[in-house]
Amino acid sequence: MDMIEVSGLFKSYGPIQAIHDINFKVKRGEVVGFLGPNGAGKSTTMKIITGSMAPSGGSVRVAGFDVFEDPIEVKKRIGYLPENPPVYGDMSVESYLKFVAKLKGVEASRVKAQVEKSIEKTDLGSVRRRLIQNLSKGYRQRVGIAQALVSDPEVLILDEPTSGLDPRQVAEVRALIKELKGEHTIILSTHILPEVQAMCERIIIINRGHIVAQDSLEGLSTRMAGATQVKIKVARPSGEVEKSLQAIPGVSALVRVSMATLWRLPQVVPQTVRPTVSLSELLKQPFSRGRGFLSFAVRARILKRFS
């Protein structure tokens, strides 16, 4: 059964399109990773699923309930960790978690047990009576995770759950998420590839508001195995350059990584080319002659681009 169903999701902030026709489904108990560079639309998509933001178009269903028609039913089932953990500095960890549990509608008789359980899972026992404002960023992040877990929701939406943590804590959080697998349906976002490899069964890659690829980890690596990524720097990039690059036989995708910088600094145009594209072919292109073809680098695996 599909726990989360997202179809045709659009969101624009004024003239800026944040996400563009996002479609995906998540099965019950699955752990899905949103992978993409900063500003790709991961957080926006997550906010829409949790019902804290309305899309410009499209629909989201969680456990069969439409987020906009039955928001309360959906919210009962979701634990959400936003980018910045939503904590009150002037509350102690324990009283804060109690408040969240009550707010999420946990029955009064189970509040205490649930709080204990989430404190234990996130290893916050040693700081439970301290004020959140006095905690380090890593602990705050863990309080944020505890907060998402405290109502024992069916769905967990975690926006960059490991940001701000030290390597040991990162490992702990990864282990925790693995442990939660099966009990909960989890969507987590990250811009770090090993993160996804460590925790997720399925990856959804988002770039500039579009879903670029979605597949299981194995599927994705076999699909990309044969591809080589070539990074090219040109001094005067233009539509013409892009066009001629696309015309090279074997080029499957062309992604511009940085837009115009100050004083016409070199720009980077990486592209994916099949190994069959010969370098001489590249060098024959018009932009390579007198147009500031500065450098290129070959990278073996496309997935590296996100790491």
Partner 1 sequence: MRGVLVIAGKDLRNLFLSPLFYGIAGLCTIAWTLVYFLGLQDFAQASAMSMMQGGQEGGANIHFVVFARHISLVNLVMIFSVSAMSMRLFTEEKRNQTMSLLLTSPVTATEITLGKLLAGLTAAWALVAISFLYPLSLRAFASFDWGPLISSYMGLLLITGCYVAIGMFASSLTESTVLSVVMALIFNVMLWFVGAVAEAQPEPPWNKIFEHLNVGTHFVNFIKGSVSVAGLTFFASVIVLMTFLTQRVVESNRWR
**Closer to partner 1 by Cβ: residue 132 or 273:** 132
Nearest approach in angstroms of CB 168 to partner 1 is 26
- Asked if residue 100 binds partner 1 (CB under 8 A), the reply is yes
75 sits near partner 1 (criterion: CB under 8 A): yes
To partner 1, the closest distance from the beta carbon of 125 in angstroms equals: 23
DSSP string spanning the chain? -EEEEEEEEEEEETTEEEEEEEEEEEETT-EEEEE--TTSSHHHHHHHHHTSS--SEEEEEETTEETTTSHHHHHHTEEEE-SS----TTSBHHHHHHHHHHHTT--HHHHHHHHHHHHHHTT-GGGTTSBGGGS-HHHHHHHHHHHHHTT--SEEEEESTTTT--HHHHHHHHHHHHHHBTTBEEEEEES-HHHHHHH-SEEEEEETTEEEEEEEHHHHHHHHHT-EEEEEEESS--HHHHHHHHHSTTEEEE-------GGG--EEEEEEE-TTS-HHHHHHSGGGTTS-EEEEEEES-GGGGG-
* Interface positions, 118-177, toward partner 1 (CB under 8 A): 147
| Interface pick for partner 1 out of 105, 182, 194, 219 (rule CB under 8 A) | 105
| Least distance (Å) between residue 117 CB and partner 1 | 19
102: contact with partner 1 by CB under 8 A = yes
Of these, 86, 250, 266, 292, which contacts partner 1 (CB under 8 A)? 86
If binding is defined by CB under 8 A, does position 80 make contact with partner 1?
yes
**Binding of residue 54 to partner 1 (CB under 8 A):** yes
CB of 41 to partner 1, least distance (A): 17
Least distance between partner 1 and beta carbon 75 (Å): 4
